[in-house]
Amino acid sequence: MKIAKVFLVGAGPGDCELLTIKALKCIQKADVILYDRLVNKDILKYAKKECEKVYCGKLPKYHTMKQETINHFLVKYANMGKIVVRLKGGDPFVFGRGGEEAEALAINQIPFEIVPGVTSGIAASSYAGIPVTHRELSGSVAFVTGHRSNTEEDTIKWDALAKGIDTLVIYMGVSNLLFIKEMLIKYGKLPATPVAVIQWGTTMQQKTVTGTLENINELVQKKNITNPSIIIVGEVVSLRKNLSWYEEIGEEIKSQGEVLSI
């Protein structure tokens, strides 16, 4: 008899080739896959034909499936004796609510495993030619959520981030970019600090806009950059002018009709 288990799996940032071997094996043996909006749908092709696929995607300010409902389904399918994969874009424990889902499974005594994925904050910056650490420019990096609903209190410690961290990697913050800029400048970041905004990082649609804290909001609006995007704040952004590589290769791949795949 097959033992039920839930795997909280990171699907990576978008490029299928960044999926880990362990993640692929989980997908191949799953009876049920609950997947998010930002998961590359090509990854689902590696599931069994009889695998049930359940869409749990969320849009900013709109939830297709509430978190409590997702938790319920994870427990429900596991109690039916199924191997369940909860497939998330990036990494389950980096702004992926994987901790909440693991807690729900633990409370219900459901066996589970965490399968880390390549988080977009690292992958998108790398694909944009921006190292988040550098011996001369950055000895510290912080991952920050840039998305807050109107009902949520802003608990981000902007003072500490502005003065104490060399590189800030801000997830899903484009809609709040003006506020983020104002907070960082208010608490000590120089207006001339380099900033990059990377949209659809690691995919064929990747687009990168660079500027400074002073002008990045206007540049992003001009280029019509929206989520999903990663914001990088810090001197390391200045290295992009020499280290940019993927977007040039991406144009070559698109012109040749190639598709990145596993």
Q: How crowded is residue 244: how many other Cβ atoms within 10 Å of its Cβ?
A: 15
Residue 170 CA to residue 142 CA, distance in Å, equals 8
Cβ proximity of 150 and 201 under 8 Å:
no
Burial 83-116 (b: 16+ CB within 10 A, else e): bbbbbbbbbbbbbbbbeebbebbeebebebebbb
Question: Cα 79 to chain center, whole Å?
Answer: 30
Catalytic pick among 22, 25, 29, 58 = 58
Q: Any catalytic annotation for residue 31?
A: no
Cβ proximity of 145 and 172 under 8 Å:
yes
Catalytic pick among 31, 172, 181, 189 = 172
Catalytic pick among 36, 82, 91, 189 = 36
Count of residues making up the chain = 262
Q: Any catalytic annotation for residue 58?
A: yes
Q: How crowded is residue 153: how many other Cβ atoms within 10 Å of its Cβ?
A: 6
Residue 247 CA to residue 178 CA, distance in Å, equals 26
Q: Which residues are catalytic?
A: 36, 58, 172
